[in-house]
Structure 1
Amino acid sequence: MTDLQLTTRHERPIDAEQIERLHERAFGPGRYARTAYRLREGRAHRADLSFTSLVGTLLVGSVRLSSVIAGDVPALLLGPLAVEPAFEGRGIAGELIRAALAAGRDAGEGLVLLVGDPPYYGRFGFQPVTPGQLSLPGPVDPARVLCVELVPGILERARGAVRPA
């Protein structure tokens, strides 16, 4: 496999249209029914904590973080995370996740949540949330509700509904 000359940078306003097309290709129309989408719907993501990856001038990946409240604890919701299908398996998603988590930590945030695959996200420090500790809108498999503590011990204080900030 050829090494990519990958550049990961903060998302810029001019990226919005390309990111929307990427989401269409990666997730299709079903993305609007997902639980995580319901938490983000109609609200701006945190541009200061969102990143894109480019190969040359081609946008090949994107991750966004949005502010939520987990019980009474301010938190972030990771997603959507998308990589151009032709570029999957090359470490782009991992690079985006690491950049977003580092930015969240640097910004003084304490907790990042997502709905995803535990074996995949576990590589980045995400752990399952105890079933019943947090509730998300819509149907969600409790085993797929994951978090990473950017401030040790903060998850213990997060109990109840997860809602947009």
Structure 2
Amino acid sequence: MTELTLTIRPEQPGDHATIERLHARAFGPGRFARTAFRLREGVDHDLSLSFAAHVGTLLVGSIRLSPVWAGDVPALVLGPLTVEPAFKDRGIGGALVRHALEQARSRGEHMVLLVGDCAYYRRFGFEPVPPGRLRLPGPVDPARLLACALVTGSGDTARGEVRPRLADR
């Protein structure tokens, strides 16, 4: 198979419609009922921490980080991570996750949360949040609530409700 030349760049306002169509193809209409989607309601993703992957001029993937509070700890929620279905299993999702985490860490963010598959996300430093430590706005399988501490110990102090962080962005 031909190797892809992947370019990752910050998401631009003009990417919005293309990314929304990508989300629709990848996740379908059921995406709006998911807890992870509900967590992002009312808070815009941070454009400086959201990225688009391109092969040539074709947008083939996207990752968005949105500011939230995890109890009293400032955090980010990762999602959605989306790869064009025809480009799956080529390392694009992993490249996007690594890039987004590096950028969040360099900016001094404390931690990143997501609802997802631990088997996939563990390689990036995500671990399950102990049951009962954080509450999300909707039902979630506790084994799928994951956190990556970008500042040592930040995951240990985060307790309580996860809610949008509106004031500082």
TM-score category, normalised to shorter length: over 0.9
Counterpart check, 1:25 vs 2:25: yes
Match of 2:15? Answer: 15
Match of 1:122? Answer: 122
Match of 1:92? Answer: 92
Q: Deviations over 1:111-161 (max 9, x none)?
A: 000000001000111000101100111110000000000001011110011
Instruction: Give the Cα separation in 2 of the matches to 1:89 and 1:122.
Output: 17
Match of 1:158? Answer: 158
Contact 2:42–2:164 (CA<8 Å) still a contact in 1?
A: no
After superposition, the CA RMSD in angstroms is 0.6
Which consecutive unaligned segments of at least 5 residues does structure 2 have? none
TM-score (norm: length of structure 1): 0.98
1:4-153 residue pairs with structure 2 within 5 A? 4-153=4-153
Instruction: Give the Cα separation in 2 of the matches to 1:90 and 1:104.
Output: 24
TM-score (norm: length of structure 2): 0.96
Give how far 1:5 is off. Answer: 1.3
Whichever residue aligns with residue 30 of structure 2, its letter is G
Sequence identity of aligned pairs in percent? 66
Give how far 1:74 is off. Answer: 0.6
Whichever residue aligns with residue 111 of structure 1, its letter is M
Runs of 4+ residues over 4 Å off in structure 1 = none
Q: Deviations over 1:35-73 (max 9, x none)?
A: 111111132100000101001111000000000000111
Whichever residue aligns with residue 99 of structure 1, its letter is H
Instruction: Give the Cα separation in 2 of the matches to 1:155 and 1:43.
Output: 22
Which consecutive unaligned segments of at least 5 residues does structure 1 have? none
Contact 2:63–2:96 (CA<8 Å) still a contact in 1?
A: yes
Between the two proteins, the alignment pairs up a number of residues equal to 165
Contact 2:61–2:92 (CA<8 Å) still a contact in 1?
A: yes
